[in-house]
Chains A and B, each alone.
Chain A
Amino acid sequence: MALSIKNRRNLFPGIARKIAVALLLSLSLAQVGAQAAPATFKLDDGTEIPLRAYSARGDTLVLWLACDEGRGTREARASWGLAANGVEAWLPDFLGGHFLPVAPSSMVQISGEEVAALIDMALASTAKKIFLVSAGRGAVPTLRGVRTWQEKHPGDANPAGVILFYPELYADTPAPGAEAEYHEIVKQTRIPLFIYQGERSPGRWWLSHLRTALESGGSRVHTELLPKVRGYFYVRQEPTPEEEAMSQSLPDLILKAIKTLETSPGELP
């Protein structure tokens, strides 16, 4: 079930390639019915990236960059919840594809080109509106990927937005008393964004600071504090009851963010 971006591109240029990729993916999904469809797609360098697809009939597709060894329980469960609500979800496993340690620092090593290739493949195989989702340091490759894709497809309104949980976008963790410096991508990003931040985290006090930095690049940014939860709430090994409950509501949070980004994207500065 491998979907080779490079090879298929060479064999089937233009619309023919899109049809071929769509057929391959739809065949893979049809084989497993309502189950998550394990598939892979190939990067230009031949690297195979595992991908699970949670199919749905609605017109929205979520691409969720998780730090979960390709089998994250929370992200997977939430994807089932999204699919049950008509939102298709794909979970690529970039870390697994590159045999990188499953750690937030590894997420930053995922290149924008690779995420852009994922977006490319998604758009080649579906006409759905695409939203990207990530958390923590996964925000960095997610935004880089969107930027890379936009540079190759200027003016295209799809992907339609990015949803981030407790994003970690500092270039380095700022020393006490020092000015915070963000990754360059923060000021280069120009897409509707929805950020969820745990109320019980130092990051909540810098959310408006981050929002201002993102808006300076031209992004429309919505933010919401999640009450009584810490950062990384849905991957914690000993979650509080409030964090457990919030983790259960991940599909609802994503659906709400999608609705907000669709109906109230805000004005570009």
Chain B
Amino acid sequence: MKSILCCLFALLLLSAPVHAMELKPYKGGPTPRLALKDLNGKAHDLKDYAGQVVMVQFWATYCAPCIKEMPSVERLKTKLAGKPFTILAVNMGESEPEIRAFLKKIKVSFNILMDGDARAIADWKVFVAPSTFLVDAQGKIRYTLQGGAEWDAPELMQTIAGMTAEAAK
């Protein structure tokens, strides 16, 4: 039994649990550059999303909390449809075939960006999957969340909807 507990603790360390839902104020430096292509080859630059709230989320197909939270990210997108809100989900350095195979099982409609050389992982200082940054309409990172979450839960929705309301003014 103790061995099993050891394994569980270890896995919890690897990736924070999906119920760890607290947004924390961002304490890092200026917003790093984010310019990546999506799975279809379309270029996305964070600067082009000025005026919108952008959820920049780093994820991987091997990360259990990432998989668990993805449906809630999709629901968040649906609930905020029509608002100035965009999701840029940055895959952490995996290959296109790996990602495409994964997305056949987990259907999402938000932007999946490729970070093959892990440049964005380094620039944004991402150590855990998933890690999420909420960028305001002025391009400043306001909040971060490490680990998985139910993104359409009332507490998170309230904060994000508040940011989009500010952006709409």
Binding site for B on A (CB under 8 A): 67-69, 71-73, 101-105, 136-137, 168, 170, 173-180, 200-206, 230-232, 235-237
Can you name 14 A-B residue pairings with CB atoms under 8 Å? A102-B6, A103-B10, A173-B127, A175-B27, A175-B144, A176-B146, A178-B125, A179-B125, A202-B92, A202-B121, A202-B126, A231-B14, A235-B7, A235-B10
Cα distance A137–B145 in the bound complex, in angstroms: 23
**Which residues of chain B come closer than 8 Å to A101, judged between CB atoms?**
2, 5
Cα distance A173–B24 in the bound complex, in angstroms: 14
A136-B124 contact in complex given A101-B5, A178-B28, C-beta closer than 8 Å:
no
**Which residues of chain A come closer than 8 Å to B129, judged between CB atoms?**
202
Cα distance A63–B92 in the bound complex, in angstroms: 35
**Which residues of chain A come closer than 8 Å to B131, judged between CB atoms?**
176
Binding site for A on B (CB under 8 A): 2-11, 13-14, 24, 26-29, 60, 62, 92-93, 118, 121-122, 124-129, 131-133, 141, 144-146
Q: Is the CB of A177 within 8 A of B13?
A: no
Q: Is the CB of B14 within 8 A of A201?
A: yes
Nearest A residue to B32 via CB reads A177
Nearest A residue to B125 via CB reads A177
A104-B6 contact in complex given A170-B127, A202-B60, A232-B14, C-beta closer than 8 Å:
yes
**Which residues of chain B come closer than 8 Å to A179, judged between CB atoms?**
125
A175-B146 contact in complex given A170-B127, A235-B6, C-beta closer than 8 Å:
yes
A174-B6 contact in complex given A205-B93, A232-B14, C-beta closer than 8 Å:
no
**Which residues of chain B come closer than 8 Å to A104, judged between CB atoms?**
6, 9-10, 13
Q: Is the CB of A232 within 8 A of B10?
A: yes
Cα distance A232–B10 in the bound complex, in angstroms: 7
Nearest A residue to B7 via CB reads A235
Q: Is the CB of A136 within 8 A of B13?
A: yes
Output the residue of B6, B93, B132, B133 with the most chain A CB within 10 A: B6
Cα distance A103–B6 in the bound complex, in angstroms: 4
Instruction: A67-B10, A104-B6, A170-B127 given; name 20 further pairs at CB < 8 Å.
Output: A103-B9, A103-B10, A105-B9, A137-B13, A173-B146, A176-B125, A176-B131, A176-B133, A177-B141, A178-B28, A180-B127, A202-B92, A202-B126, A205-B92, A205-B122, A231-B14, A232-B11, A232-B14, A236-B7, A236-B11
Q: Which of A105, A137, A168, A174 contacts B125 (CB 8 A)?
A: A174
Cα distance A69–B5 in the bound complex, in angstroms: 10
Cα distance A177–B123 in the bound complex, in angstroms: 8
Q: Which 5 A-B residue pairs are closest in the complex by CB-CB distance?
A: A177-B28, A102-B2, A103-B9, A176-B144, A102-B6
Output the residue of B7, B60, B129 with the most chain A CB within 10 A: B7
Q: Is the CB of B118 within 8 A of A205?
A: yes
**Which residues of chain A come closer than 8 Å to B62, judged between CB atoms?**
200-201, 230
Nearest B residue to A66 via CB reads B6
Cα distance A175–B60 in the bound complex, in angstroms: 18
**Which residues of chain B come closer than 8 Å to A67, judged between CB atoms?**
6, 10
Q: Which of B11, B26, B60 contacts A177 (CB 8 A)?
A: B26
Query: Smallest Cβ distance from B5 to chain A, in angstroms?
Result: 6
Query: Smallest Cβ distance from A173 to chain B, in angstroms?
Result: 6
**Which residues of chain B come closer than 8 Å to A105, judged between CB atoms?**
9
Q: Which of A136, A168, A176, A204 contacts B126 (CB 8 A)?
A: A176
Nearest A residue to B94 via CB reads A200
Cα distance A103–B2 in the bound complex, in angstroms: 8
